[in-house]
């Protein structure tokens, strides 16, 4: 897999880690430095703002301090020491680690961990020195700091995603392995531009003949020095794909060869669409074993999901009843027919139920569908057409704003659907075979990964892949993330027709 350098330039040959205790390794990729510095400033400002909130809006925040030296010390601690301590604790908990920028929950888990540490630290110091401070002020400053830091970091992440959409703040990726394995990783990372991984080349391990006469999306290399190849295309990250990682000796030599070059080495095993919480690494005599847990679609978390579904949907029906009345009147005035449209859909374990929606089409829509099949823009089980002539004027507005889907809260109250889950598919398509059937392990949802990742603009294969990913990697955190993302997707009206 790797080849040694042929030249003997001592500045280019690396055979070990940097041995200076004071000199940090200079990374080839430098975008994270500015982002880290910005996060430090953002976190300090958030902690400072929390101190302002606690001091100015909490009763008796200054109680117990005389107007002289004690008050000066109090202000010094509140305005400077406390924000600096927050930054130090966040750093100690890895909240500035560049590997967690832009994707996943690890960054925010470290913020939560730092917040708990700050709570323990402040409580310990207050007890040790018997400080006469307001408990309400302490609680306010810690809680508001944690909330502001998380909020500002979320805004910083969105700004990072925006920069990455323009090709900035990215990691340039050299894929190593057989061409099919490298292309699988290529397609996967291209589906997630927010991750900031941009493939710029492929190093095929089976030789140049394997890609002869192929139209490749990025340059392909074979039989040359890997580090030299990475330098040539300015790749800062090397990704070993699939079976190329099976040879531990070659992988170890490549890691040695990259030491001191400032380039990252990652391994992309043949485990796609499996979330991190299900993957655990267990080392046995230096052999890293990946342990895959079964999907957790039962237990206390699932019980909480069911309770939240029932309570929130029932409350939403009550609160949205005025909107439902307005929608019903608009539908009746726009075209003849019922207010609601009920269609047989397939639910959990293959059970059929009637899915409720506000009617958005003329009453003869199903009869007219056969004549429009040649215009079907979907490659799967659903009929999709952007300019469907069967949609009414009010129906087009209801679809673009997703208001028509709110009627499915009735199905959630009845226990036939969930707020979040795979979308229910029409029952007339018959039995679902193969991988598609696995999506029936959970109740279908009003929203899901399909909806927040492109909606009707997605291909059928991508929609199925996202639904299966949700089933295999479900968690309460995932549900909450999807609900928050749904709001943004609905406001943008992207892919709704």
What secondary structure letter does DSSP report for 22? S
Question: Please, what's the b/e burial string for 87-116 (b: 16 or more CB within 10 A of its CB; e: otherwise)?
Answer: bebbbebebbeeebbbbeeebbebbebbbe
Q: Which structure tokens are listed for 486?
A: 């749904």
Beta strands in 332-451 (DSSP E): 340-346, 352-358, 418-420, 425-426, 445-447
What secondary structure letter does DSSP report for 144? H
Q: Which of 174, 314, 195 is nearest to 241 (CA)?
A: 174
pLDDT over 90, % of the chain: 38
- Do the Cβ atoms of 80 and 175 come closer than 8 Å? no
What secondary structure letter does DSSP report for 78? I
Q: Which residues of the chain have pLDDT under 70?
A: 1-25, 60-74, 131-132, 245-247, 270-277, 280, 282-288, 376-383, 428-434, 455-457, 493-497
- Do the Cβ atoms of 321 and 400 come closer than 8 Å? no
User: Quick check: helix, strand or coil at residue 125?
Assistant: helix
CA dist 96 and 40 (Å) reads: 8
- Contacts with 323 (C-beta within 8 Å, 6 or more apart), sequence order: 403, 406
Cα dihedral sign, 382-384-390-393: positive
CA dist 402 and 410 (Å) reads: 15
Q: How many CB atoms lie within 10 A of CB 410?
A: 18
Site of tokens 């400072």 = 48
Q: Which of 189, 269, 175, 261 is nearest to 222 (CA)?
A: 175
DSSP bridge pairs for 266 = 239
What secondary structure letter does DSSP report for 378? -
DSSP bridge pairs for 291 = 280
- Do the Cβ atoms of 425 and 400 come closer than 8 Å? no
The end-to-end CA distance of the chain, in Å, is 49
CA dist 473 and 450 (Å) reads: 14
Give the pLDDT score at 13: 44
* Alpha-carbon dihedral 242, 247, 252, 254, rounded to 10 degrees: -60
Site of tokens 């655990």 = 280
Give the pLDDT score at 420: 95
- Do the Cβ atoms of 142 and 118 come closer than 8 Å? yes
Q: How many CB atoms lie within 10 A of CB 421?
A: 28
DSSP bridge pairs for 253 = none
Give the pLDDT score at 60: 57
Measured in whole angstroms, how far is the alpha carbon of residue 432 from the centre of its chain?
Answer: 28
Residue 456 CA: distances (Å) to CA of 88, 405, 444, 482, 487: 46, 14, 17, 17, 17
Q: Which of 277, 283, 314, 273 is nearest to 409 (CA)?
A: 314
CA dist 8 and 10 (Å) reads: 6
Residue 222 CA: distances (Å) to CA of 172, 173, 177, 187, 379: 18, 16, 10, 21, 37
CA dist 260 and 40 (Å) reads: 27
The CATH architecture that domain 171-272 belongs to is: 3-Layer(aba) Sandwich (3.40)
DSSP bridge pairs for 241 = 268
What residues does each domain of the chain span?
A: 31-165, 171-272, 300-492
3-state helix, strand, coil in the chain (%, to 5): 55, 15, 35
- Do the Cβ atoms of 170 and 196 come closer than 8 Å? yes
DSSP bridge pairs for 356 = 342
- Do the Cβ atoms of 12 and 231 come closer than 8 Å? no
Element (H, E) at 283: strand 279-284
Cα dihedral sign, 59-64-67-73: negative
Give the pLDDT score at 340: 94
Q: What is the pTM of this model?
A: 0.72
Query: What pLDDT digit, counting tens, does each position of 415-440 carry?
Result: 999 999 998 888 765 556 667 788 88
């Amino acid at each position: 897999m790797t080849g040694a350098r042929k030249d003997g330039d001592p500045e280019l040959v690396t055979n070990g880690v940097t041995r200076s205790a004071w000199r940090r390794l200079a990374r080839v990729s430098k975008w994270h430095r500015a982002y880290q510095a910005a996060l430090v400033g953002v976190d300090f400002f958030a902690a400072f703002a929390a101190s302002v909130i606690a001091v100015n809006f909490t009763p008796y925040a200054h109680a117990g301090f005389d107007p002289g030296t004690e008050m000066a010390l109090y202000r010094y601690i509140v305005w400077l020491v406390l924000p600096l301590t927050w930054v130090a604790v966040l750093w100690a908990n890895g909240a500035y680690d560049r590997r967690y920028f832009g994707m996943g929950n690890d960054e925010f888990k470290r913020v939560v961990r730092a917040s708990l540490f700050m709570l323990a630290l402040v409580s310990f110091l207050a007890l040790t020195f018997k400080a006469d401070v307001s408990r309400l002020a302490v609680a306010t400053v810690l809680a508001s700091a944690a909330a502001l830091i998380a909020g500002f970091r979320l805004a910083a992440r969105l700004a990072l995603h925006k920069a990455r959409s323009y090709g900035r703040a990215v990691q340039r990726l050299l894929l190593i392995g057989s061409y099919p394995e490298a292309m699988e990783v290529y397609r996967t990372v291209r589906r997630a531009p927010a991750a900031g991984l941009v493939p710029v080349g492929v190093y095929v391990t089976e030789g140049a003949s394997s890609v002869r006469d192929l139209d490749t999306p990025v340059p392909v290399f074979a039989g040359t020095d890997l580090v030299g190849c990475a330098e040539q295309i300015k790749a800062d990250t090397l990704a070993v794909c699939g079976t190329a990682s099976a040879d531990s000796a070659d992988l170890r030599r490549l890691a040695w060869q990259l030491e001191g070059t400032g380039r990252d080495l990652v391994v992309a095993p043949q485990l796609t669409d499996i979330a991190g919480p299900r993957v655990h690494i267990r080392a046995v005599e230096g052999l890293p074993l990946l342990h895959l847990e079964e999907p957790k679609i039962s237990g206390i978390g699932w019980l909480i999901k069911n309770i939240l579904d029932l309570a929130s949907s029932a409350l939403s029906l009550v609160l949205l009843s005025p909107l439902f009345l307005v929608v019903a009147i608009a539908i009746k005035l726009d075209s003849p027919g019922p207010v609601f449209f009920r269609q047989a859909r397939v639910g959990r374990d293959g059970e059929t139920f009637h899915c409720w929606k506000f009617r958005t089409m003329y009453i003869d829509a199903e009869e007219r569908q056969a004549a429009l099949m040649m215009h079907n823009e979907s490659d799967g089980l659903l009929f999709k057409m952007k300019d469907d002539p069967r949609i009414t004027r009010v129906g087009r507005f209801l679809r673009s704003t997703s208001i028509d889907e709110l009627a499915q809260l009735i199905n959630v109250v009845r226990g036939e659907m969930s707020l979040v889950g795979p979308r229910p598919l029409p029952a007339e398509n018959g039995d679902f075979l193969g991988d598609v059937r696995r999506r029936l392990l959970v109740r279908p949802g009003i929203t899901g990964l399909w909806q927040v990742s492109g909606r009707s603009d997605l291909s059928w294969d991508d929609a199925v892949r996202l639904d299966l990913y949700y089933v295999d990697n479900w968690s309460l955190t995932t549900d909450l993330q999807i609900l928050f993302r749904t709001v943004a997707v609905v406001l943008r009206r992207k892919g709704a027709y």
